[in-house]
Amino acid sequence: MKSFTIKEINSLLNGELIGNCSEEITAPEQIEKAKKGQITFIGNKKFARLWDSSNASAAIIDAKIEIEPGVDKAFIKVTNADLAMAKLLEAFQPEAPHFETDIHPTAVIDKTVTLGKGCKIGANSYIGKNVVLGDGVIVYPNVSIFDDTTIGNQTTIWSGTVIRERTVIGNNCIFHNNVSIGADGFGYRPSEQGLTKIPHIGNVVIGNQVEVGANSCIDRGKFSSTILGDGCKIDNLVQIGHNSVLGRFCIMAGNSGLAGSVTLGDGVIIGGSASIKDHTTIHSGAKVGAGSGVIADVAAGKTVVGYPATDSREMMKQWVALRKLARG
């Protein structure tokens, strides 16, 4: 089990140490559950009131919050408690699952595959014709990577993920369990036979440092490519429809979805369970509130909420008016 002194943690975070903690810190924990020997986080004033009843030995605290640590307890004051928490959680992170051998004997790897230095491939994985894996790619057990796919350096692919043919993936990406990349888009047209399937002959192109959560689906393009730009972060259970294009550093929370041919600018944030209509553009820096339904373009930097989604300030006025009307 990992443990650190409070001085070692302060050195890691480059904060301001206040008070004294003689305990070795064995784990981080939320403030209500923390025990002696654990460290917690106070990034907002609403959590500061919980400190007096907390059993934590130390806390990482936002520099703007004015409280005292108490006897044999310590604070590490930082400018951003959330970023400091991320750094500390990384220090406490357990070791990744062990590979007994770099390439498991039950993995099926086509003779045309190109493997970079230090690749690891787990049991029962399948790597198809002309696939290229960069240096340090980790493929956990039961992953399928189909023909003509290219994956960049230091990318990690967790069990159950399926990457369909012709996909292009950048460096330092993470795909969690059961991600589907490059399946057919959803396209049918009425015909004399009932519903005629529209073939999707494009692919998926994913940039660098993209992370995709468990059970999310990214469909391939009908004609060209579905694209995720550098740094995009996709939560669990997200649907990205065919020919959608995401700019850099977009965030999509769980159960949200893009229909086909949606365009997101840079830094767009989509809240949980939000739905975006096909052929809609959400411009850079815009935010879509949780549960909202976007049926029209959203201007850069605007926040929209509701169903159908409307400017957040306008929607708040409508909600207030409805509440007054209900009260009579």
Catalytic (active-site) positions:
242
Strand-pair category, 310-311 with 303-305: antiparallel
* C-alpha to C-alpha distance for 165 and 159, rounded to whole angstroms: 18
Pairwise CA distance, residues 119 & 94, whole Å: 21
Secondary structure (DSSP) of 125-152 = -EE-TT-EE-TT-EE-SS-EE-TT-EE-
If DSSP codes are grouped into helix, strand and coil, which group holds residue 44?
coil
Which residue do the tokens 């960049």 mark?
A: 152
Token reading at 195: 């519903």
Distance CA(312)–CA(269), nearest Å, equals: 14
Find out whether 229 and 251 touch, Cβ atoms under 8 Å.
Answer: no
248 close to 265: Cβ distance less than 8 angstroms: no
Angle at 171 between CA 169 and CA 176, to 5 degrees: 70
d(CA 191, CA 197): 10
Tell me which amino acid residue 116 is.
G
